[in-house]
Structure formats: structure tokens, C-alpha cells
Amino acid sequence: MNDIVLEGEVKQEITKILERKISGEELDLEPRIDVINSFIEKEIQHMTNYVKTLDKKVEDPTKILYPLFRDALEEVGRCLLFLKKG
């Protein structure tokens, strides 16, 4: 986190949340922390703009992923048959 979030209010609020979570405190729904929300919105916009500048072609992975998906479905089918017989 030290390399990603600069010193200041955002880092202080994140540190508070992390300390609470590490101590086992359940965080449930709480009011929004504006400084963190603002930071996240700025980072999302920054990353969105950055990605638009990239010029990298990504090949369609369907040919690689389809056999993996089919194998996973077959494995699930075998497990279901085993459980049904058991």
C-alpha cells in the first residue's frame, strides 16, 4: 500500500479500516468515507484513460478456453453421477 497510496487522509482512512479488519471487527454496511470514495473514483478514471492509450491486440482466447470449459463441465457431470450413485 505504501507504494500505491500517498501519505495523507486517504492513507490514514485506509489504515484505520485495515486495522479494524485485521483485529476481527466486522465492518458490515457503514457510511461512505468520502475521501476514499473520491480517491477510488479518480483512480478508476485514471486507469480508464490509461487503458485507452494502450495499443495491444489481444487474440480471441475462445479456442484455448473452450476445451478447458468442456473438460470442467465433464468433470462436474462425473461428480454429479458419483454423488447420485452414492
User: Quick one: CA dihedral 35, 41, 43, 46, positive or negative?
Assistant: negative
Residue-level pLDDT at 64: 93
DSSP string, 49-85: HHHHH-------THHHHHHHHHHHHHHHHHHHHHHHH
Q: Where are the domains of the chain?
A: 9-85
pLDDT digits (tens, 9 = 90+) for 10-45: 888 888 888 888 887 776 777 888 888 888 888 889
pLDDT digits (tens, 9 = 90+) for 36-84: 888 888 888 999 999 889 888 888 999 999 999 999 999 999 998 888 8
Distance CA 77, CA 70 (A): 11
Residue-level pLDDT at 5: 60
1-11 average pLDDT score: 68
Residue-level pLDDT at 26: 74
